């Protein structure tokens, strides 16, 4: 009897689910915590070191919001795009050097689009340089008790030194909600609009899972698909962290299942402080299983997703629009396959806020206040490739293109050839896409807020809507 490949994979997945305890476990850390109490409701390898990818941007947002609270910068302060910021690999907004974006708009772009160029502009605007901002990230991280985290850049582009853990990310997510409740909506934006373009969130729980209300996704080949997600039901907010999923659908499904189990049980099994930690170590590299041999990895990951049912109610606006009889319970995996919900987009724009006459935050000497004469070196040519002290993120990833190999095979081959020819490089940048992979953005008109001064209309290339593998 002959069986198709898909049938065999499905059968293997079912066996893994049934006999998960006996199956070899793939390293996919997770944790669920109660935001109010800090109680840990479930955890699995929660202190294992992991590459954060773009969930790094939650730490970037924390440092920026803390700077606002300290009065060092305001949400209306424009941050300026430097050549270093503009050189970042996708996902990115694609603005030209010299463009200005208010810090508030920049934070929205950071959370929704996961723009790597905007992350660097925020870092330079807040601290003067990426390196000085990374120092602030590490100081705040240590103060929060994130003992397994090391930060070297604000966007999560690959660097083997930058690691964190599920536990540390849960601590960070909880701190953002408890210390900055007035900015909670920043992590719950379903879509943003720049000019005529609408860019949706990559957090596929929003609008699909009852009570889902925020946080951030991340992806690189080495890290896998990461997610820090929050949901609130009956006045109780939980945060779930899932790291290393083999694709975005399974990432969403596992997170939904963990949240559902957390809401149903509610029993604390540990505290964040009680989880054993040996400090940061080298993180595993999932490149082969996530970007080259995804089938076996996906089948094995299924063993970690319990067959939990998710109550479908008025908490899911997408399903309310379907009408008809009350919905039955839904399997966690089905949540990820629901159609993309429609959100009222949050408008953002390029340029200063109308009437703004304050300083501009841009690259400058570290420690210098916002508005001081910029460090002109930041706007000059990038450091020589042979300079070993140059930050890895100052060089764009050589093959930062979509995982759709057939469509981009020529671009990948050319990029790899160019990287190989750069014999002077002392630090070889790992070829990877940050967060959701995206094709090269196309040029477009700048989007400026009406009535803004004509002098504040920097040119911009079209903000490209990044798509996860297999999604458009």
Dist. CA 313–CA 327, nearest whole Å:
7
Per annotation, catalytic residue among 114, 289, 391, 446 = 114
Secondary structure (DSSP) of 71-118:
TSS-TTSEEEPPHHHHTPPSS---BPTT-EEEHHHHHHHHHHT--HHH
Catalytic annotation present for 54: yes
Dist. CA 54–CA 51, nearest whole Å:
9
Q: How far apart are the first and last CA of the chain?
A: 37
The alpha carbon of residue 192 and the mean position of all alpha carbons in its chain are separated, in whole angstroms, by 16
Per annotation, catalytic residue among 57, 92, 216, 254 = 57
- Report whether 155 contacts 116 (CB < 8 A): yes
Count of alpha carbons within 13 angstroms of residue 448, beta-carbon side? 19
Per annotation, catalytic residue among 30, 49, 54, 141 = 54
The strand pairing partners of 43, in sequence order, are 31
Q: How many residues does the chain have?
A: 472
- Report whether 392 contacts 159 (CB < 8 A): yes
The residue to which tokens 């990287």 are assigned: 419
Dist. CA 206–CA 190, nearest whole Å:
7
Catalytic annotation present for 113: no
* Other residues' Cβ atoms within 10 Å of the Cβ of residue 312: 21
Secondary structure (DSSP) of 288-351:
IIIII-HHHHHHHHGGGS---EE--STT-HHHHTT-SSPP--EEHHHHHTSPPPP--PEEE-BB
Dist. CA 410–CA 405, nearest whole Å:
9
Phi and psi dihedrals of 447, rounded to 5?
-110, 115
DSSP designation for 65: H
- What is the chain's Cα-based Rg? 22
Dist. CA 110–CA 118, nearest whole Å:
6
CB burial readout 72-90, b (16+ within 10 A) else e = ebbeebbbbbbbbbbbbbb
Nearest alpha carbon to residue 254 among 192, 182, 204, 201 = 204
* Other residues' Cβ atoms within 10 Å of the Cβ of residue 142: 11
Catalytic annotation present for 57: yes
The strand pairing partners of 95, in sequence order, are 460
3-state secondary structure 391-424: CHHHCCCCCCCCCCHHHHHHHHHHHHHHHHHCCC
The CA-based diameter of the chain, rounded to the nearest angstrom, is 76
The SS3 call for residue 205 is coil
The SS3 call for residue 106 is helix
The residues carrying an active-site annotation are 54, 57, 114
């Amino acid at each position: 009897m002959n069986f198709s490949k898909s049938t065999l994979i499905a059968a293997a997945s079912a066996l893994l689910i049934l006999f998960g305890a006996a199956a070899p476990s793939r390293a996919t850390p997770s944790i669920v915590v109660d935001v109010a109490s800090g109680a840990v409701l479930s955890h699995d390898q929660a202190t294992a070191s992991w590459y954060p990818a773009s969930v790094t941007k939650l730490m970037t947002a924390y440092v920026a919001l803390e700077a606002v609270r300290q009065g060092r910068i305001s949400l209306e302060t424009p941050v300026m795009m430097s050549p270093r910021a503009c050189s970042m690999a996708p996902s990115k907004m694609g603005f030209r050097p010299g463009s200005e974006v208010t810090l508030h708009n920049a934070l929205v772009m950071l959370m929704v689009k996961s723009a790597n160029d905007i992350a660097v502009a925020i870092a330079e605007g807040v601290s003067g340089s990426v390196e000085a901002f990374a120092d602030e990230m590490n100081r705040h991280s240590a103060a929060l008790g994130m003992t397994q985290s090391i930060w070297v850049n604000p966007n999560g582009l690959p660097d083997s030194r930058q690691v964190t853990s599920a536990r540390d990310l849960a601590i960070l997510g909880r701190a953002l909600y408890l210390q900055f409740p007035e900015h909670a909506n920043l992590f719950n934006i379903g879509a943003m609009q720049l000019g005529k373009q609408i860019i949706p969130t990559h957090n596929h729980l929003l609008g699909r899972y009852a009570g889902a209300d925020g946080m951030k996704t991340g992806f690189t080949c080495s890290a896998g698909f990461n997610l820090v997600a929050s949901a609130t039901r009956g006045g109780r907010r939980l945060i779930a962290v899932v790291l290393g999923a083999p694709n975005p659908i399974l990432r969403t499904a596992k997170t939904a299942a963990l949240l559902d189990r957390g809401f149903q049980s509610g029993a604390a099994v540990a505290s964040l402080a009680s989880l054993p930690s040996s400090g940061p170590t080298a993180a595993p590299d999932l490149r082969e299983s996530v970007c080259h041999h995804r089938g076996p990895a996906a089948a094995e990951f299924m063993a970690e997703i319990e067959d939990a049912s998710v109550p479908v109610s008025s908490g899911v606006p997408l399903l309310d629009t379907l009408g008809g009889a009350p919905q039955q319970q839904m399997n966690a995996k089905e949540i990820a396959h629901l159609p993309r919900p429609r959100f009222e987009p949050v408008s953002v724009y390029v340029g200063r806020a109308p009437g703004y006459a304050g300083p501009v935050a841009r690259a400058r000497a570290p420690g210098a206040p916002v508005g001081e004469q910029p460090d002109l070196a930041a706007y000059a040519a990038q450091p020589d490739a042979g300079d070993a002290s140059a930050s890895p993120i100052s060089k764009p990833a050589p093959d930062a293109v979509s995982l759709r190999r057939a469509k981009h095979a020529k671009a990948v081959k050319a990029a790899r050839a160019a990287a190989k020819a750069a014999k002077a490089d002392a630090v070889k940048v790992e070829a990877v896409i940050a967060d959701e992979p995206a094709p090269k953005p196309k040029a477009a008109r700048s989007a400026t807020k009406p009535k803004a001064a004509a002098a504040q209309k920097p040119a911009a290339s079209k903000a490209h809507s990044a798509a996860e593998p297999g999604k458009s």
